[in-house]
Amino acid sequence: MGILINIVIQLFFIAIIIQRLRRIKEIIIPIRKKYIQIIIALIVFISITYFYANTWINYVTGILAILMFVSMWLAQGIISKGFISMYKCKEIISWNEIEKVMVISSKDIKVKVSEGFMQQIFYFKKSDYDKVITILKENLPKQAKLQTILNK
C-alpha cells in the first residue's frame, strides 16, 4: 500500500511539473528571480531528501519535489490572462478580478496586485518598467485603480 501512495504522489508531482512548464511558455514578462532564495530552498529540499529518504522511491519523490518547486518558482509573471503566481490556491489572477495595482519603481519594480481580500506582490526587473506599465494600462479593467510610485 505504501508504494502505491508514493507512486500516486510522484504522478501528482509530475502533473504539476508538466503544467507549470506549459505555463512558462505563456509568460510575457517573467518575475525578477532572486537566486539566493532558490539556492536556500534547494539546500533545504536536498537536505531533507538526503537525511530522511530510506529507499529509492523516497529519493525519486524528493527529486520530483525539488523539480516541482523550481518549475513553480520559474512560472511566475504576467501572461495574457493576467498575473500568474506560485500559489496553487490562486494560480492565475485574471485581469477582470484585479481591483487595484500599485507599481513602485526603485531599484526594481514592485507590483502589488489586490483582488478582493488577497494581495500578492511581484518583482520585475527595472528594465521591464515600460512593458509592465503598458500591459497594465492595456489590460486592467476600467474600475481597477493603477497607482505608480517612483522612488530614486
pTM for this structure?
A: 0.81
Q: What is the pLDDT of residue 152?
A: 62
CA terminus-to-terminus distance, the chain: 59
The whole-angstrom separation of Cα 120 and Cα 113 is: 5
Q: Which pLDDT tens digit goes with each residue over 3-40?
A: 888 889 999 999 999 999 999 999 999 998 888 888 89
* pLDDT tens per residue, range 81-132: 999 987 766 788 889 888 899 999 888 888 998 877 778 889 999 999 999 9
Q: How far is Cα 60 from Cα 75, in angstroms, rounded to an integer?
A: 22
CA 115 vs CA 13, 41, 62, 141: distances in Å? 29, 28, 34, 12
| CATH number assigned to the domain covering 80-150 | 3.30.720
CB atoms within 10 A of CB 20: 22
What is the number of residues in the chain? 152
- The C-alpha atoms of residue 118 and residue 111 are separated, in whole angstroms, by 14
Would you list the domain boundaries of the chain? 2-75, 80-150
Q: What is the pLDDT of residues 49-75, one digit of tens each?
A: 999 888 888 899 999 999 998 898 888
pLDDT tens profile 130-144: 999 999 999 998 888
